[in-house]
């Protein structure tokens, strides 16, 4: 399917070599130097003036990382010998070139010419002919099929095989597909139907999924700047799975609420949009990320409604004044294995030992927060992981060592039952992989 560079599809895709060269540089850093895609994009995109060039770079990088297994299969089949380590930047550029042909389906002649030109811009003039030949071959013959599971590290594939044997194929396929764009309508500015009407007026097609009162799902992704009222806070981008949390936590009016790991602030904002009477404290251990919570709340007109604090949720002695919370959200740091479609570099960078460290951190934060919850109060534990150590087993272990904790099942509409919680696998209902469990503190 061709990518759309702007919502109305009126402008042709940018034609230059600069965005191709930049995409190749970013891919080289992510593929070969352990860099995070998100951080590289955040640093690189502002260097481009044209919004279409930025969209192109982003589209190439995401597509290339999602299709990595196919592109490597093509290079293995078409090159006489594997690329040497010094040719890693060339691999990155070729992946960027393949992505433009399939799946982005850009006009092939211009895409190939601009990518060959980018080889020169990257100091690879001596390989420009090879780039041209390989991209022309891809255009002529098409890129070979490959098992997308080949892009998953062995340790993770084995865990999925053990934990989700009937679903592994669907998980891998959904993780390689672009995520749909989900919106959350800001109730303080109007309801979902009213915003759906604004979208329709703007020519943007959206569906209103059942069971998520504030959610709209777009038929085709558009840049946020094209969303009516985005800058004024009428709407936010947030996956459907993340929007479940406000329903499951459901703090009562005027409740004291803690969002213990709040950045960038999507779930905190949703809670505040729904109920201006909440007294919400938002923590994050990372000061720069907590700044993003402020930006999120500011755009939505909610900045005055929350108290933000840079703090380690696992050390309440440093930030808790002794007043217990009626509701706590622990949206825990996790492996992000449920959102590979949004963060394809998770497959390159995540190690088994990272998961062990995350599981220990999650347990420590859970134990530390529990005494800050009022008897009768509710804590929702959530992750965007699909690994049981971080999810069902984590919560089961917590229940076993915490006599005043009881689990409450929020019901089928929040995903499949898995131990004490509800799990969505990537693509379930069009949503991200996500786990949540609702824990009540009994007297
Ligand atoms: C999954 S993200 C939270 C997403 C957020 N709830 C939202 O909806 O936008 C996890 C966050 O936990 C933060 N974090 C990690 N360890 C922490 C700790 N010990 N205390 C507080 N925050 C922590 C990370 O900086 C990260 O921003």
Atom of ligand 1 nearest to the CA of 263: 27
94 Cα to the center of ligand 1, angstroms: 36
Residues 349 and 246 reside in one and the same domain: yes
Residue 1 lies in a domain: no
Residues 251 and 400 reside in one and the same domain: yes
**Token representation of residue 113:** 């010419």
Q: Which of 146, 169, 198 is the last residue of a domain?
A: 146
Residue 227 lies in a domain: yes
Q: Residue 22 is part of a domain; what is its CATH number?
A: 1.10.940.10
The DSSP output letter for 216 is E
Q: What is the pLDDT of residue 443?
A: 84
Specify the DSSP element, H or E, that contains 249: helix 240-249
Ligand 1 pocket, mutate which of 236, 243, 246, 285 (most atoms under 8 A from CB): 285
Question: Known catalytic residue: 334?
Answer: no
Residue 161 lies in a domain: no
Residue 10 lies in a domain: no
Specify the DSSP element, H or E, that contains 214: none
Residue owning the nearest CA to atom 17 of ligand 1: 285
Residues 259 and 198 reside in one and the same domain: no
Specify the DSSP element, H or E, that contains 186: none
Residue 163 lies in a domain: no
First to last CA, the chain: 56
Residues 251 and 228 reside in one and the same domain: no
Residues 267 and 213 reside in one and the same domain: no
pLDDT (tens, 9 = 90+) of the chain, 443 residues, equals: 333 333 333 333 446 999 999 999 999 999 999 999 999 999 999 999 998 999 999 999 999 999 999 999 999 999 999 999 999 999 999 999 999 999 999 999 999 999 999 999 999 999 999 999 999 999 999 999 999 999 999 999 999 999 999 999 999 999 999 999 999 999 999 999 999 999 999 999 999 999 999 999 999 989 899 999 999 999 999 999 999 999 999 999 999 999 999 999 999 999 999 999 999 999 999 999 999 999 999 999 999 999 999 999 999 999 999 999 999 999 999 999 999 999 999 999 999 999 999 999 999 999 999 999 999 999 999 999 999 999 999 999 999 999 999 999 999 999 999 999 999 999 999 999 999 999 999 98
Alpha-helical (H) ranges within 45-191 are: 51-66, 68-78, 88-101, 108-121, 128-141, 154-163, 168-175
Contacts of 168 (CB under 8 A, 6+ apart): 149, 157, 160, 161
Q: Which of 237, 263, 279 is the last residue of a domain?
A: 237
161 Cα to the center of ligand 1, angstroms: 28
**Token representation of residue 337:** 């294995």
Residue owning the nearest CA to atom 25 of ligand 1: 286
Atom of ligand 1 nearest to the CA of 329: 6
Q: Residue 255 is part of a domain; what is its CATH number?
A: 3.40.50.150
Neighbours of 128 (CB within 10 A): 16
Q: What is the pLDDT of residue 15?
A: 65
Residue 391 lies in a domain: yes
Residue 172 lies in a domain: no
40 Cα to the center of ligand 1, angstroms: 20
Residue owning the nearest CA to atom 15 of ligand 1: 333
Residue owning the nearest CA to atom 10 of ligand 1: 333
**Token representation of residue 408:** 């409450």
Residues 311 and 322 reside in one and the same domain: yes
Q: Which residues line ligand 1 (CB under 6 A)?
A: 242, 260-267, 283-286, 289, 312-314, 331, 333, 365
Atom of ligand 1 nearest to the CA of 312: 20
Ligand 1 pocket, mutate which of 184, 258, 261, 317 (most atoms under 8 A from CB): 261
Identified catalytic residue from 61, 261, 334, 384 = 384
- Calculate the CA 115 to chain-centre distance: 28
Residue owning the nearest CA to atom 1 of ligand 1: 333
Name the domain count of the chain. 3
Q: What is the pLDDT of residue 348?
A: 97
The DSSP output letter for 178 is P
Residues 287 and 423 reside in one and the same domain: yes
Ligand 1 pocket, mutate which of 38, 263, 268 (most atoms under 8 A from CB): 263
Q: What is the pLDDT of residue 289?
A: 95
Residues 93 and 192 reside in one and the same domain: no
Residues 301 and 338 reside in one and the same domain: yes
> What is the domain extent for residue 233?
182-237
Q: Residue 223 is part of a domain; what is its CATH number?
A: 3.30.70.1170
Residues 403 and 257 reside in one and the same domain: yes
Label the pairing between strands 325-331 and 256-259.
parallel
Residues 71 and 187 reside in one and the same domain: no
Residue 162 lies in a domain: no
Residue owning the nearest CA to atom 11 of ligand 1: 261
Q: Which of 191, 210, 237 is the last residue of a domain?
A: 237
Atom of ligand 1 nearest to the CA of 382: 1
- Calculate the CA 380 to chain-centre distance: 20
Residues 217 and 246 reside in one and the same domain: no
> 282 near 259, Cβ under 8 Å?
yes
Atom of ligand 1 nearest to the CA of 361: 19
Residue owning the nearest CA to atom 12 of ligand 1: 261
144 Cα to the center of ligand 1, angstroms: 40
Atom of ligand 1 nearest to the CA of 331: 6
Distances (CA, A) of 82 to 30, 87, 267, 273: 20, 10, 46, 54
């Amino acid at each position: 399917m061709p990518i759309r560079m702007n919502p109305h599809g009126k402008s042709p895709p940018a034609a230059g070599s600069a965005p191709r060269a930049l995409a190749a540089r970013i891919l080289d850093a992510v593929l070969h130097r352990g860099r995070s895609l998100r951080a590289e994009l955040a640093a690189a995109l502002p260097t481009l003036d044209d919004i279409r060039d930025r969209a192109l770079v982003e589209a190439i990088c995401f597509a290339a990382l999602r299709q990595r297994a196919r592109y490597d299969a093509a290079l293995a089949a078409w090159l006489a010998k594997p690329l040497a380590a010094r040719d890693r930047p060339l691999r990155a550029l070729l992946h960027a070139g393949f992505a433009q042909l399939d799946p982005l389906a850009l006009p092939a002649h211009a895409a190939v010419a601009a990518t060959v030109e980018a080889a020169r811009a990257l100091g690879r003039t001596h390989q420009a002919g090879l780039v041209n030949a390989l991209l022309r071959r891809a255009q002529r013959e098409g890129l070979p099929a490959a098992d997308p599971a080949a892009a998953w590290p062995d340790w993770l594939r084995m865990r999925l095989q053990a934990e989700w044997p009937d679903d592994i194929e669907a998980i891998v396929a959904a993780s390689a597909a672009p995520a749909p764009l989900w919106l959350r309508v800001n109730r303080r500015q109007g309801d979902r139907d009213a915003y759906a009407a604004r979208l329709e007026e703007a020519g943007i097609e959206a569906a209103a999924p059942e069971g998520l009162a504030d959610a709209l799902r777009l038929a085709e992704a558009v840049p946020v700047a094209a969303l009516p009222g985005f800058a004024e806070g009428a709407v936010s981008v947030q996956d459907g799975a993340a929007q479940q949390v406000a329903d499951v936590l459901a703090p009562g009016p005027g409740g004291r609420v803690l969002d213990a790991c709040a950045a960038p602030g999507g779930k905190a904002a949703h809670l505040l949009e729904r109920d201006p009477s909440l007294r919400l404290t938002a923590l994050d251990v990372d000061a720069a990320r907590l700044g993003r919570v402020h930006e999120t709340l500011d755009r939505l007109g909610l900045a005055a409604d929350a108290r933000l604090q840079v703090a380690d949720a696992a050390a309440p002695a440093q930030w808790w004044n002794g007043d217990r919370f009626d509701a706590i959200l622990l949206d825990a740091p996790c492996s992000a294995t449920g959102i590979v479609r949004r963060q394809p570099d998770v497959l390159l960078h995540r190690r088994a030992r990272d998961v062990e460290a995350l599981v220990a951190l999650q347990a420590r934060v859970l134990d530390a927060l529990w005494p800050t919850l009022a008897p009768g109060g509710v804590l929702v534990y959530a992750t965007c992981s699909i690994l049981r150590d971080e999810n069902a087993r984590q919560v089961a272990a917590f229940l076993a060592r915490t006599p005043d904790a009881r689990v409450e099942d929020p019901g089928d509409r929040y995903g499949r039952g898995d131990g004490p919680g509800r799990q969505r696998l990537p693509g379930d209902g069009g949503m991200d992989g996500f786990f949540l469990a609702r824990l009540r503190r009994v007297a």
